[in-house]
Amino acid sequence: MDTNGEMTLAASDKTASGARVDETAVNEAIREKTTTTAENEDTKNRMDANDVSNGAVVKGTSYSTNCPFKFTPAGSFGVNTPEEVAAYYDNWAGTYDEWTKYCGYNGPQYLTDLVKRYCRTTDLILIVGVGTGLEAQLLFDNGYRQMHGVDGSIEMLNRAKTKGHLLELIHEFLQPNARSSIESHRYDTMLCVGCFVPGGLDERHVDDLLRTLKPGGISIIGTRETFINDPGEAFNYPYSLESKLKQLEQAGAITLLDRVRKEHYGDNSVGVFFIHRVNHS
């Protein structure tokens, strides 16, 4: 926040260049890869928002297990360079919030439930891959006010900025096996949900994310169960988040507080959340 009390959008010398991919081609690829069959479109389940935290499936108003446009990670389209991935999400920013509502993406709600369990409302929180600020909005509604967000998509950040829930936004594309511009040991809590996917983050980013936390800080990382270990050649994502975290646990760098598996994470998928305490000094 600047001296006039305005929310700031911080630039970084490691931001994506702003190069664009062909929006028509991207949208056509999405349609080809994600359209469901008529049978799937006819099959609907609902989840009451009050039962999200316990995973109960009931008749309700908000949850669809068969969104006609399935989430497909950027990397599945051969979109892998920082510029291409940033452009992919820039193109999606205008409809992202609507997509999450229509397709029943519950990752942000599950994350909020865990933050309420493990973190104080006074914590300084870093949201990695903050996107349009869905998690920030839910946390704000639950009394959390000290939040910063980082993302590689300037259009996603612009959407988040208009909502007014974040004190600082950082435009930076996080690189594997590299140190970001984010200050070390600054945050009480680091949150990252839905970013460990092809074309996004992987095990090579974990050390840098944990570096941002104070000793005793809390890390909560969540993603689809498909992507916590190498999902096979079809996804070209030969990484294991879970193995990396176990290595750090064995080295004494972090302590596992919980591993939470959630049905109905989004698009009829299962999500897994890892909650750790950081032990570095």
Which letter, b or e, does each residue of 179-193 get, where b requires 16 or more Cβ atoms within 10 Å of its Cβ?
ebebeeeebbbbbbb
SS3 at position 123: coil
Task: Write the pLDDT tens digit of every residue in 230-266.
Answer: 998 888 899 999 999 999 999 999 999 999 999 999 8
Q: What is the pLDDT of residue 235?
A: 86
Q: Give this prediction's pTM.
A: 0.79
Q: Above 70 in pLDDT, residue 118?
A: yes
For the chain, how far is it from start to end, CA to CA, in angstroms?
Answer: 28
Q: Residues of the chain with pLDDT > 70: what percent?
A: 72
What pLDDT, in 10s, does the model give residues 27-80?
454 344 333 322 333 323 222 333 323 333 222 223 334 454 556 677 655 677
Strand, coil or helix: 29: helix
Q: What does the block give as tokens for 245?
A: 């975290």
